[in-house]
Amino acid sequence: MAKEKETQRMIANNKKAFHDYFIEDTYEAGIALHGTEVKSMRMGKCSIKEAFVRIENGEVFVYGMHVSPYEKGNIFNKDPLRVKKLLLHRHEINKLSGRIKEKGYTLVPLQVYFKEGKVKVEIGLARGKKLYDKREAIAKKDMRRETEREFKVKNL
């Protein structure tokens, strides 16, 4: 029997992370949520622009992830900015905590998506960019955009 195609539906994306950091490795983690938070995410009401990830006491938590309250959730709604636990295997947590202890490394959430009905968070092991690195990346983007524009004009 053929393996079914994995279905992923994007909820939130963190484009700023790719601008501010060199992403060296990515991990997929589950996230511990309450019922109304999942319903809110199904409606696409999630933001990870200001979010960051920390490892505390052998557990991984995401801070600053905003999940808007569910409109019909009344008393069951949780705090939109509450700290949420990420679900990773022990060996992955140990590997990440070892890498984070190195100078300049951090964990950032890259995207939140549904995979086979479950909410997943892609986190990246990242190293901060210096200002000149950011300028260099912007210059490369501009050059690529210019060449694409010229190519498009020539092919018309």
**Listed residue (20, 16, 24, 15) closest to 126, CA to CA:** 24
Domain span at 50: 8-129
Q: What pLDDT shows up at residue 64?
A: 87
The count of structural domains within the chain is: 1
CATH, residue 101: 2.40.280.10
Q: What pLDDT shows up at residue 156?
A: 65
Residue found by looking up tokens 């984070």 in the block? 100
Q: What average pLDDT does the chain have?
A: 83
Mean pLDDT of 23-43: 86
User: 7 vs 62, 116, 117, CA distance in Å?
Assistant: 24, 6, 9
Mean pLDDT of 74-90: 82
Q: What pLDDT shows up at residue 47?
A: 85
- Would residue 102 count as lying in a domain? yes
Least confident of 73-77, 95-99, 101-105: 73-77
Share of the chain above pLDDT 90, in %: 9
Q: What pLDDT shows up at residue 1?
A: 45
- Would residue 152 count as lying in a domain? no
